[in-house]
């Protein structure tokens, strides 16, 4: 007489082994948004300052900076390479966007206090999808 439980043991063993196989997809594989600002710096300029940073987008989808705030300035404005104000700065997926002297940047005006070389300030970038991200920026 054949025992019915003997055929069940290999099937259970196979299910247990297969359940242990797990893969973790990368952000770009699932299409998420991942923004990492780096190299932030604030350069004093006249009665104000200018904020520069590298915005590294390693996710698959686009995002955009819509607003900038910092406690050291009453006004923080995104401007394009020509210095004209812009309402938003697109950050395409899988791209490095630089806020730089010859490109888009953030002008800080109506400073709340004098900025000293070597001190560190936090500049918050507000993204449409990602939300707020603070960037630590030394003052030059």
Count CB-CB contacts under 10 A for residue 60: 16
- Domain 28-138 CATH class label: mainly beta
Q: What is the pLDDT of residue 15?
A: 66
Mean pLDDT of 4-29: 65
Q: How confident is the model at residue 17 (pLDDT cuts 50, 70, 90)?
A: low
pTM: 0.78
Q: What is the pLDDT of residues 58-76, one digit of tens each?
A: 888 899 999 999 999 999 9
112: three-class secondary structure by DSSP: coil
Cα 60 to chain centroid, rounded: 13
Residue ranges covered by each domain of the chain: 28-138
| Residue 22 pLDDT | 66
């Amino acid at each position: 007489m054949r025992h019915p439980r003997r055929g069940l043991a290999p099937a259970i063993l196979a299910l247990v082994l297969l359940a242990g196989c797990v893969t973790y997809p990368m952000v770009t594989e699932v299409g998420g948004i991942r923004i990492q600002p780096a190299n932030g710096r604030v350069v004093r300029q006249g009665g104000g300052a200018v904020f520069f940073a590298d915005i590294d987008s390693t996710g698959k989808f686009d995002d955009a900076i819509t607003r900038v705030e910092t406690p050291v300035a009453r006004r923080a404005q995104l401007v394009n390479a020509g210095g004209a104000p812009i309402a938003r700065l697109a950050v395409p997926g899988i791209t490095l966007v630089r806020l730089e002297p010859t490109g888009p940047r953030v002008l800080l005006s109506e400073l709340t206090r004098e900025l000293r070389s070597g001190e560190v300030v936090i500049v918050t970038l507000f993204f449409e999808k990602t939300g707020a991200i603070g960037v630590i920026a030394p003052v030059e």
